[in-house]
C-alpha cells in the first residue's frame, strides 16, 4: 500500500517527462511508422489513392499505449486521427461518405494519464459527422480508437487530479470545462461510451472460457466475427450490450454529453476489475481477449473490403 502512495508522489515529474518525450523524436518515429503502413498496406485510406491491389503487402498495425505512454501516444497520434475523421466526411466539394480511419488498424490506450480536455477536439470532430451504417448492405464503421480505464485505477482516478488541481487554480474555467481540465479522460463521464465486464452467463454464442484451449477459442472468435460480418456489424452500434466470446460483455453507457452519431469510432470504456484490475492490469487475459476480438474483427472487415475492391477492379 505504501508503495502505491510513493509512486503517486512522482506522478507530476513523470507527466512532465512524458510531455517532453511526446514533443520529441517520438513524433518522427510515429511518422515513419505511419508512412511505412500507408505505403505498403492494401487498405483503402484517402492518403493513398492508387493502390496496386495485386502487388501490395499484408501490413497490419495495432498501437497500444499505457498510462503516460498513453499520453505520449495520444499527443503524437491525435492529429492523424483528426485528419482521418475530418477529411473523410462529406462536404460541399466531396459528397461521398468514406470510412473514417485512424493510425494503422487500431489504437488502444489503457488507463491513459492525460486531461480530458485534450480529448475534446477529437470528440467534437467525431460527433459532428456521420458514418457508414448497415443501410444499403454496407459494413458499418468500426472503432479506430479505444480508450479503456479500469474502475479500480487509483492513479488516474485520485492521484492525477490531486496533482493537477494546484496548477489550474488561476485558470478561468468552470463547470464541465474545469472538471475536464483536472480529470483524466477515462474518469470524465462526459466522454464515456461503454463499460466492459466479465459475465460468465453472457457467452451463449462461443461457449468458451479461459479453460478452453487457445486454438478452440480462436476458432470460436473467428466464427463470432464472421457472424457479425454477415450482419454488417450491426451489433457494434450498441444501445444495450454486445456479448463477445470468452464471457465478455460490452455495455452501452448513456453519459456521452456530445452528439452521438451511430457507429461513432471513438470508444471510451470503463472496465470492471475482472477485466483490468488497477493501473497496471493491462495484461489481464480478459482484456487481451477483448482487444484481440475487436482487432481481428477490424482486420477481417478490411480484408473483406479489399476483396471487394479487387473483384470490382478492371
Q: What is the pLDDT of residue 2?
A: 44
Beta bridge partners of 195: 251, 270
Question: What digits encode the pLDDT tens for the residues 84-119?
Answer: 999 888 876 777 888 999 999 999 999 999 999 999
Our separate counts of H helices and E strands in the chain read 10, 7
Q: What is the pLDDT of residue 102?
A: 93
Q: Are strands 145-150 and 106-110 parallel, antiparallel or unpaired?
A: parallel
Q: What does the alpha-carbon distance between residue 83 and residue 297 come to, in Å, rounded to a whole number?
A: 23
C-alpha cell at 271: 472496465
Q: Indicate the Cα dihedral angle 223, 225, 226, 228, nearest 10°.
A: 120
C-alpha cell at 79: 492529429
Burial class (CB in 10 A: 0-12, 13-18, 19+), 59: middle
Q: What is the pLDDT of residue 61?
A: 92
Q: What is the pLDDT of residue 109?
A: 98
pLDDT, averaged in runs of 10, over the chain (314 residues): 50 67 81 85 58 68 93 92 91 79 95 93 95 90 97 91 66 62 91 92 69 87 91 87 90 92 96 94 93 93 66 56
Beta carbons of 102 and 126 less than 8 angstroms apart = no
Give all strands of the β-sheet with 62-66 in edge-to-edge order.
62-66, 106-110, 145-150, 266-271, 194-198, 248-252, 241-243
Q: What is the pLDDT of residue 25?
A: 81
Per-domain boundaries in the chain: 2-312
pTM: 0.88
Q: What is the pLDDT of residue 141?
A: 94
Amino acid at each position: 500500500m505504501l508503495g502505491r502512495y510513493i509512486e503517486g508522489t512522482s506522478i507530476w515529474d513523470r507527466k512532465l517527462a512524458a510531455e517532453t518525450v511526446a514533443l520529441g523524436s517520438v513524433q518522427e518515429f510515429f511518422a515513419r511508422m505511419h508512412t511505412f503502413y500507408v505505403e505498403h498496406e492494401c487498405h483503402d485510406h484517402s492518403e493513398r489513392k492508387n493502390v496496386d491491389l495485386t502487388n501490395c503487402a499484408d501490413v497490419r498495425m495495432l498501437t497500444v499505449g499505457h498510462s503516460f505512454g498513453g499520453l505520449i501516444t495520444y499527443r503524437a497520434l491525435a492529429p492523424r486521427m483528426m485528419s482521418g475523421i475530418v477529411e473523410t466526411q462529406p462536404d460541399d466539394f466531396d459528397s461521398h461518405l468514406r470510412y473514417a480511419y485512424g493510425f494503422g488498424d487500431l489504437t488502444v490506450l489503457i488507463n491513459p494519464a492525460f486531461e480530458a480536455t485534450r480529448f475534446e477536439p477529437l470528440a467534437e470532430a467525431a460527433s459532428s459527422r456521420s458514418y457508414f451504417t448497415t443501410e444499403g448492405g454496407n459494413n458499418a464503421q468500426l472503432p479506430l480508437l479505444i480508450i479503456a480505464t479500469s474502475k479500480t485505477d487509483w492513479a488516474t482516478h485520485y492521484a492525477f487530479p490531486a496533482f493537477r488541481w494546484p496548477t489550474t487554480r488561476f485558470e478561468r474555467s468552470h463547470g464541465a470545462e474545469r472538471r475536464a481540465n483536472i480529470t483524466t479522460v477515462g474518469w470524465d463521464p462526459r466522454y464515456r461510451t461503454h463499460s466492459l465486464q466479465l459475465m460468465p452467463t453472457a457467452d451463449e454464442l462461443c461457449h468458451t472460457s479461459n479453460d478452453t484451449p487457445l486454438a478452440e477459442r480462436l476458432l470460436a472468435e473467428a466464427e463470432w466475427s464472421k457472424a457479425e460480418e454477415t450482419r454488417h456489424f450491426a451489433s457494434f452500434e450498441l444501445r444495450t450490450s454486445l456479448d463477445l466470446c470468452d464471457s465478455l460483455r460490452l455495455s452501452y453507457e448513456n453519459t456521452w454529453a456530445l452528439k452521438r452519431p451511430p457507429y461513432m469510432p471513438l470508444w471510451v470504456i470503463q472496465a470492471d476489475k475482472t477485466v483490468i484490475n488497477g493501473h497496471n492490469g493491462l495484461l489481464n487475459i480478459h482484456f487481451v481477449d477483448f482487444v484481440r476480438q475487436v482487432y481481428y474483427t477490424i482486420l477481417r472487415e478490411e480484408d473483406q473490403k479489399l476483396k471487394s475492391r479487387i473483384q470490382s477492379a478492371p
